[in-house]
């Protein structure tokens, strides 16, 4: 929890990792990819405050002790949600698997949720692995990388029949939240990789599932925004948005926030630190203090108050994950700032056009 100016914030970090990218874990013959991948992540860390930058050796693999300290003791996080990323082609034991994350979860079940994953292209074997993971870790969410390469495939869509089979099964198994990576480059992308139209269709067809679009479709946030406006069960995952922009490019960050608040709204935005790319501490503290910079560029964006920040930092994700939030952290009143009548009309018209 984080307290500032008499307000108490319950923090859910809804997108973080416990990875092993140390050279010992690199697959022979694929070293350049394993190295390139973690260096790419490391460059992202460079967008955070200088005092939080780590040497690459430390960044490749943090210890359990360091994670617990940086996320919970120093980072103000109450509950953290692990997202899994496999990348077994490059990392012998995987980069950040359900098992790796799950081991920490089992030690601290009150502090973590562990999300699983599936890849519809893995067929029946993949389905069995997914089912085993669900049985063991009881996840209520998964993280999907539609742009990931797999054998001869250069990516898939949520709307592929095979994927629908997995989504149906996931729903039967109690999965509620589908985090979809639609954002900055992951293993070679094809041109459809940022396309969010598949989320649009799947969200319509699976009303019982929530779709959290991580990294809000960067670089094409506008496509994401137009889509999310129309789908009540689509959320904006702010991982990379806060970490990558708030410190390094505050004016751009403010514009992106303004767009998201306008099109998507504070009830459907969730904080994720993307640890260990960035520590949650400076992100949480900076976001609580955040306001629009001076200037006309921001005049007509919806404002974000204390209640909105409480929702984004924790209350929204707590609802998605059925995390119990003590009364002291709940909103004092249940009022959220309505969009101006003009804004509401534009959003409505956008929905009507779709």
| DSSP-derived 3-state class of residue 15 | strand
Interface with another protein, residue 24, by CB under 8 A: no
Buried b (16+ CB within 10 A) or exposed e, 141-172: bbbbbbbbbbeeebbbebbeeebbebbeebee
Q: Is 89 or 122 the residue whose CB approaches another protein more closely?
A: 89
Handedness of CA 338, 319, 247, 252 (dihedral sign): negative
**Candidate ranges 68-76, 167-175, 187-195, 313-321; the one touching another protein (CB under 8 A):** 187-195
Q: Is 42 or 111 the residue whose CB approaches another protein more closely?
A: 42
**Which residue in 213, 218, 246, 317 binds another protein (CB under 8 A)?**
218
The least distance separating another protein from the CB of residue 52, rounded to whole angstroms, comes to 13
Q: What does residue 67 show for φ and ψ, rounded to 5 degrees?
A: -60, -50
d(CA 113, CA 118): 17
Helices (H), 244-332: 250-263, 280-289, 306-310, 316-320
The least distance separating another protein from the CB of residue 343, rounded to whole angstroms, comes to 9
**Kind and range of the H or E run holding 32:** helix 31-45
d(CA 320, CA 314): 10
Interface with another protein, residue 149, by CB under 8 A: yes
The least distance separating another protein from the CB of residue 54, rounded to whole angstroms, comes to 12
Angle at CA 262, nearest 5°, toward 284 and 269? 35
The least distance separating another protein from the CB of residue 264, rounded to whole angstroms, comes to 11
Considering only residues 167 through 186, tell me which ones interact with another protein, judged by CB under 8 A: 184-186
Considering only residues 272 through 311, tell me which ones interact with another protein, judged by CB under 8 A: 296
Interface with another protein, residue 242, by CB under 8 A: no
CB 119 within 8 A of CB 150: yes
**Which residue in 37, 82, 278, 321 binds another protein (CB under 8 A)?**
37
Q: Is 6 or 191 the residue whose CB approaches another protein more closely?
A: 191
**Which residue in 69, 111, 220, 319 binds another protein (CB under 8 A)?**
220
d(CA 323, CA 12): 9
d(CA 12, CA 77): 6
The least distance separating another protein from the CB of residue 237, rounded to whole angstroms, comes to 15
| Strand ranges inside the chain, DSSP E | 2-4, 7-9, 12-16, 79-82, 112-114, 141-144, 177-181, 210-214, 234-237, 269-270
The least distance separating another protein from the CB of residue 99, rounded to whole angstroms, comes to 25
The least distance separating another protein from the CB of residue 47, rounded to whole angstroms, comes to 5
Interface with another protein, residue 255, by CB under 8 A: yes
The least distance separating another protein from the CB of residue 216, rounded to whole angstroms, comes to 9
**Which residue in 244, 280, 302, 314 binds another protein (CB under 8 A)?**
244
* Six-digit token string for 221: 């946030």
The size of the interface with another protein (CB under 8 A), counted in residues, is: 49
Sheet with 12-16, strands from edge to edge, namely: 12-16, 79-82, 112-114
CB 43 within 8 A of CB 54: no
Interface with another protein, residue 39, by CB under 8 A: yes
Q: Is 116 or 146 the residue whose CB approaches another protein more closely?
A: 146
**Which residue in 8, 23, 36, 132 binds another protein (CB under 8 A)?**
36
Q: Which chain residues interact with another protein by CB under 8 A?
A: 32-33, 36-37, 39-40, 42-47, 149, 152, 154, 184-191, 193, 218-222, 225-226, 240, 244-245, 248-249, 252-253, 255-256, 258-259, 263, 296, 342, 346, 349-350, 353
């Amino acid at each position: 929890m984080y307290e500032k100016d008499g307000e108490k914030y319950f923090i859910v970090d809804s997108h973080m990792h416990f990875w092993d990218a140390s050279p010992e874990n690199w697959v022979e013959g694929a070293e350049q990819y394993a190295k390139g991948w973690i260096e790419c992540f490391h460059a992202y860390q460079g967008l955070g405050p200088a005092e939080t930058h780590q040497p690459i050796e430390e960044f490749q693999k943090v210890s359990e002790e360091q994670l617990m300290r940086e996320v919970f003791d120093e980072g103000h996080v109450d509950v953290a949600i692990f997202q899994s990323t496999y990348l077994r082609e490059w990392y012998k034991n995987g980069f950040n698997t359900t098992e790796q994350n799950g081991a920490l979860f089992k030690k601290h079940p009150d502090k973590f949720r562990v999300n699983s994953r599936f890849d519809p292209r893995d067929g029946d074997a993949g389905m069995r692995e997914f089912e085993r993971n669900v049985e063991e870790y009881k996840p209520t969410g998964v993280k999907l990388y539609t742009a990931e390469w797999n054998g001869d495939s250069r990516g898939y869509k949520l709307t592929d029949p095979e994927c629908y089979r997995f989504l149906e099964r996931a729903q039967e198994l109690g999965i509620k939240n589908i985090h979809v990576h639609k954002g900055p480059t992951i293993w070679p992308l094809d041109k459809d990789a940022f396309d969010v139209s598949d989320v649009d269709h799947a969200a319509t067809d699976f009303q019982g599932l929530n779709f959290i679009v991580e990294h809000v479709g960067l670089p094409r946030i506008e496509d994401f925004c137009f889509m999310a406006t129309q789908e009540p069960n689509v959320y904006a995952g702010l991982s990379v948005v806060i970490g990558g922009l708030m410190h390094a490019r505050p004016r751009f960050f403010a514009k992106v926030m303004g767009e998201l608040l306008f099109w998507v709204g504070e009830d459907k935005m969730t904080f994720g630190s993307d640890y260990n790319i960035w520590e949650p501490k400076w992100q949480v503290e900076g976001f609580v203090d955040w306001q629009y910079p001076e200037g006309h560029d921001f005049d007509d964006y919806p404002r974000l108050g204390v209640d909105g920040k409480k929702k984004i930092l924790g209350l929204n994700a707590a609802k998605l994950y059925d995390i119990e939030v003590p009364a002291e952290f709940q909103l004092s009143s249940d009022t959220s700032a309505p969009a101006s009548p003009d804004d509401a009309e534009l959003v409505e018209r956008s929905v009507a056009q779709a």
